[in-house]
Chain A
Amino acid sequence: MLDLFTDKQAQANRKRMGAGIMLGTALFATSATAQVNETDLTTLSIEDLMGIQVTSVSKKSQSLSDSAAAIFVITAEDIQQSGATCIPELLRMVPGLNVARIDANKWAVSSRGFNSRFSDKLLVLMDGRSVYNPLYSGVYWEVQDTMLDDIERIEVIRGPGATIWGANAVNGVINIITKHAGDTLGGLAVAGGGTEERAFAAGRYGTTITEGVYGRLYAKGNSRDSYQFVTGEDSEDSWESYRSGFRVDGSLASSNSFNIQGDIYKGDLNQTVILPTLTDPAFFIDNDNVDTKGGNILASWTQYTSGGGEVDLQFYYDRASRDEMTNHEESDTLDLEFQHHFSFGEKQDLIWGLHYRYISEKFYNTFWTKLEPENADTNLFSFFVQDEYTALKDTLIFTLGSKFEHNDYTGYEIQPSLRALYSPLKNHKLWGAVSRAVRTPHRVERNATLTTIILPSSNPINPLSIPAAAGVTSNADFDSQIVVAYEAGYRYLVNQTLSLDLALFYNDYDDLRSTEPTLPTINGSYGAVYNQFTNAAAGTSHGLELAVAWQALEKVKFDFAYSYINEDYTDIYITQASDAPIHQFSLRANWKITDSLSFDFWGRYVSDAAGIYVYNPGDPYYTIDDYFTADIQITYRPTSQLDIALIGQNLLTESHEEYVQEFWSLPTEIERGVYLKATYRF
C-alpha cells in the first residue's frame, strides 16, 4: 500500500515495517544530567535563568533504527551535502542499491540485483503516489523530481515490502517524502549553472493560508548538457525539464489532519537511438526528441480516534505521457486507499487497509513496439493486515502480516511476511525476517512485441533466407515472478558518535522471467524470429550491506556504505538480465570548517558489471568496467540567508561508463562536471 503521505502516515508506515524507523541520526536529547551539588534551578528567578549557560540538547548524536527491515534514510542534510541535482543521483549513497546512469537523461536503479533501464522489482513512491510506469513496471527516473530543498527525507527499504506495499515491492521500496507545508514558510530561490548542469533555477514560496492551514508553491527548471559515447563523440542527449507544484497541509481540529498537493511537469529530452530497419544496413542511428508531460493531484485525510488510533483516507489521480520515436504512451491512474491503525490491549498494534487502483493506458504502435490490444484498462484490488506483537516490552517484537491482492493478469496473490526485532541492550538490535513477494506481469510481458534487431539473411542465427525481425514477444500465460527472502540484520551503537548497521539477505527466486525462441514465421518480405517471455528461470542471490556513520569530531562526519551481492540465476542469455556489481563502496565526508564555510567529499567505487546488449558484435554479453569517482562541494555562507556553493561531480576521470541499455541505445559515458549554485532564503 502505498503511502507515505503525511508525516503522520509515515509514522504509521514505520510501525508497519517493524517497530518504527528512527532516523539514522536524530536529534538526541541528553536526559537531565542530574548534576548534584548544583543550585536547584527552580529556586532561581527568571532573570537569573537568562544568565545560565546551557549545554545543547540538540547536539548531533545517533540512535538506532527500531525497524525489523533493512532500511536507510536519506535526510534533508544528506541531500544538501551531496551536491546532487536530481533524485536518482542521491540514491547512490544507499547500501544495497545500484544506481547506474545510462546517458544524460536515463538511469537504471535497482535494489539487490536485476538492474536495468527496465528494472521492475522496485516500488517507488512520492508522498504516497506510486510512480512506476504500468507498461513495464519500471520508473522513468528523469521525470520524477521536485525541489530537492523541499524533500524531508527519502526512506529506502531493501528486500520485500510487499506485505504492506503490494506487488512490485519485490526487492525494495523507495519512499520520497516532501516537507509539511508548515516547514516551508517563506521564500527560497536557487539558481546556478556550469558545464554539465548548464543552467537551473527554482523558486518556492510558503505561507499561512489561514490559521492552522499552510501552503507552498514551487517552480523549477533545469537545462542539462549532453554526455559522450564510449567512442568519444557527443551523445546528443542534452535535456530540459520544467516543473511546478503546490502542497497544502492543515488541521481543522486536533482530531484530524489533511493534505492536498499536486504537480505538473514537462520534459524535452534529446536522445540518440539505434533502431532496426528492413533496408540495408538493417539499422539506422538518429537523433530523437522525447516529449514527456504529466501531472498529478493527491488528497488525504487522517482522522485520529480518542483511543490513540487513526484512520487514513487517500486519493490521487496521475497522468503521464511520453512520446518518442519507438513509442507513444499515455496513462491515467486513479488510486484510492483506506487504512486503519489501532492498538488492541497492551501488546497488539494492528493495521489493516483496503486499496483500489484503476489504470487506463493508451498506446500508439510503431514498427518497433506493438501492443495488442493497444489500449488497456486494468484494475487492482487489495487488502492487507499486519499485527505488531510486543512479546517483551522494549525487547522483543514480532510483526506478522500479509497482503491479499487481485490483479487482472494473475488473479489473487498472497504476500505474507514475518519479522522479529530483538533488543537485548539499548545499543544492540538484532532483526530477522522471512517474506514472500511477487512481481505481477506487466503489459509488455502480456501484450507487446518489441523489435530490437533485424537479422540479415546472412546472419548465422537467422534460420530464414530473407531478413528477419527479432526481439521479444509477449506470452498470454506469463505468470508472476516469486521471491522468498530470508533476511537478518544487526545494529550496534558503539557510542554516541559511531553506529553500524549490517544487513544480510538470501533471496530464493522462482518463475523468473526468461525467454525462449518461437517458431520462425514469414511476414511478407521479411521473417520474424522472436523470443517469447516465459517463467523458466530461477535462482538465488545472497549478499551483505553495511552502513557506518561516524561523527569523528564535532565538525567532521563520515558516512560509509558497502554492498556485496553474489547472484546465481539461470543463464543470463536466457533471462536477459544483468550481472550486478559484486562490490560497491560509498564514502561521504562533511567538514564544517567554520560557521560560514563547509566542505563535502563523496567518493564511490562500483566493481565490474555486465548486461545484455543486443548490438554487441558476436556476443550480446556486454561488460562494464569498474570505476572510482568522486564529488566535491565547497559551500560559503556569507549570511544566514545566502549560500554559495561550488560543486564538482565525477571528478576523477574525464568520463566513465556505468551501464548500457539493452537495445535501441548506444553505450554512453558520464562526463565530469562543475557547477556553481546560489541559494537565497527570505
Chain B
Amino acid sequence: MIAGPDSYHNFLGRKALKRFSRSTVLFLLTFCWCASVPAAPRDEYAVKAAFVMNFAMLTEWPETAFSNPTENITLCVVGTSTLPQAFQSIEGKKIGKRLLHVEAVDSQATTPKCHIVFYKDEVDTADLVRTLSAVRGKPVLTVGEKERVTKLGGAIHFYTQNGKLKFAINPTVIAKQGLKLSSRLLKIATLIDN
C-alpha cells in the first residue's frame, strides 16, 4: 500500500521515489497513530467507566462525607447482573489522596454507603426511585445511563450524540447534595434543570 504503483517507478527517479516513500510512510504512520483513538469504536461501558473515574476526580465532596482524608471513594454500580469488566478495571485507581473502590450492588438491596452511584439501565423504576430517595440531600453523586435517572432526581446522565458519549448535569441537584463540581466539568457538560 505504501510502495507506489508501477507507474511511479517510471515517472520518478529512484531517489525521488525513495524520499517520497519514506515521507509517505512517516506521514501515514503519524496519521494512523493519531486516528487510532477515535477511529475504533470502544465499548460503551469502558468509556462510561472512564468518565465516572473523571467525575470522581472533578468532584469535591464535603469533609463530612469521609471519616478520614485517605478513605476510599466508594463507587456503587447498581444493577441486576454482574459488574461490567470495565468497572472492575477502575478498582483501586488513585483519585487525589484517595483510592477508588468499586462495588456491585443488587438493585433490590437497600443502598449501602456510596460516594458515587452508577445506575445501570436495567434497574427498574421502583428501585431507582427508592434508592434515589435514600440519598436525597446527601453528598452522593448519582449517575445514570439514561435520562430517566435525572428525571427522577439523579444528578448526571449519559446520552449519545453522533456515536459519541456526552453527559448532562443538573446543577440544582448537585448543589442540594452539597457537592462541588470543577468548572472544567461544567464547561463541557450539557446543563439541565428537570
Contacts and interface: CB of A to CB of B under 8 A. Distances in A.
Partners in one complex: yes
Nearest to A259: B126
Given A32-B84, A180-B126, A182-B152, A49 B165 contact: yes
Interface in B73-108: 81-82, 84-86, 89-90, 93, 106, 108
Contacts of B106: 308
A604 B41 CA distance: 42
Contacts of A6: 126
Given A32-B85, A46-B54, A52-B164, A256 B41 contact: no
A182 B147 CA distance: 12
Given A35-B42, A52-B42, A55-B43, A254 B121 contact: no
Contacts of B54: 45-46, 49
Contact of A255 (B39, B110, B164): B110
A53 B163 contact: yes
A88 B41 CA distance: 44
Contacts of A304: 108-110, 130
B28 interface: no
Contact of A29 (B58, B120, B184): B120
Contacts of B111: 254
Interface string B16-51: 000000000000000000001111111111110111
List the 8 closest pairs (A to B, CB-CB), nearest first: A254-B134, A32-B85, A212-B133, A180-B125, A57-B44, A41-B50, A251-B130, A32-B86
Given A34-B85, A46-B54, A46-B184, A55 B130 contact: no
A212 B122 contact: no
B46 to A, nearest CB: 5
A306 B132 CA distance: 17
Interface in A51-105: 51-58
Interface in A139-196: 179-180, 182-183, 185
Contacts of A30: 43-45
Interface string A250-265: 1111111100000000
A356 B166 CA distance: 52
Given A32-B84, A35-B43, A51-B164, A46 B130 contact: no
Contacts, number: 178
Contacts of A180: 124-126, 129
Given A44-B50, A52-B165, A251-B130, A182 B108 contact: no
B160 interface: yes
Chain B residues touching A, range: 35 or more
A70 to B, nearest CB: 23
Contacts of B9: none
Kindly name the residue among A8, A57, A308 whose own CB sees the greatest number of chain B CB atoms within 10 A.
A57
A253 to B, nearest CB: 6
A305 B45 CA distance: 31
Contact of A11 (B124, B130, B166): B124
Given A6-B126, A49-B54, A56 B47 contact: no
B188 interface: yes
A214 interface: yes
Say which size band chain A's interface belongs to: 35 or more
A447 B104 CA distance: 58
Contact of A50 (B90, B120, B164): B164
Nearest to A45: B54
A251 B153 CA distance: 13
Contact of B89 (A32, A214, A252): A32
B121 to A, nearest CB: 6
20 contacts: A7-B124, A8-B127, A27-B121, A31-B84, A32-B85, A41-B42, A41-B47, A44-B37, A46-B54, A46-B184, A54-B165, A179-B125, A182-B151, A183-B148, A253-B130, A254-B111, A255-B110, A255-B130, A304-B130, A308-B108
Given A8-B124, A27-B121, A212-B153, A52 B90 contact: no
A249 B125 CA distance: 10
In the complex, which of the residues A32, A179, A251, A304 has the most CB atoms of chain B within 10 Å of its own CB atom? A32
Given A8-B126, A254-B133, A54 B43 contact: yes
Given A33-B46, A58-B121, A49 B129 contact: no
Interface of A: 6-8, 11, 26-27, 29-35, 38-39, 41-42, 44-58, 179-180, 182-183, 185, 211-212, 214, 249-257, 304, 306, 308, 310
Nearest to A55: B41
B124 A54 contact: no
Contact of A55 (B44, B82, B120, B166): B44
A11 B45 contact: no
Given A35-B42, A46-B185, A211-B136, 10 more contacts: A30-B45, A31-B85, A41-B47, A42-B49, A52-B165, A53-B42, A55-B41, A57-B44, A57-B145, A212-B136
Nearest to A308: B109
A204 to B, nearest CB: 16
Contacts of A48: 37
B131 interface: yes
A54 B162 CA distance: 10
A212 B132 CA distance: 8
B188 A54 contact: no
Contacts of A251: 126, 129-130, 133-134
Nearest to A20: B80
B53 interface: yes
Given A35-B42, A55-B43, A50 B133 contact: no
Contacts of B163: 53-54
B186 to A, nearest CB: 11
A438 to B, nearest CB: 33
B168 interface: no
A57 B44 CA distance: 6
Contacts of A56: 44, 160
A7 to B, nearest CB: 4
A257 B45 CA distance: 29
A49 B47 contact: yes
A27 to B, nearest CB: 6
A46 B153 contact: no
A39 B153 contact: no
Given A7-B124, A8-B127, A35 B160 contact: no
A34 B58 CA distance: 26
A182 B127 contact: no
B116 interface: no
A55 B133 contact: no
Nearest to B131: A254
Nearest to B107: A11
A42 B129 contact: no
B110 A306 contact: yes
Contacts of B184: 46
Nearest to B182: A46
B39 A182 contact: no
B155 interface: no
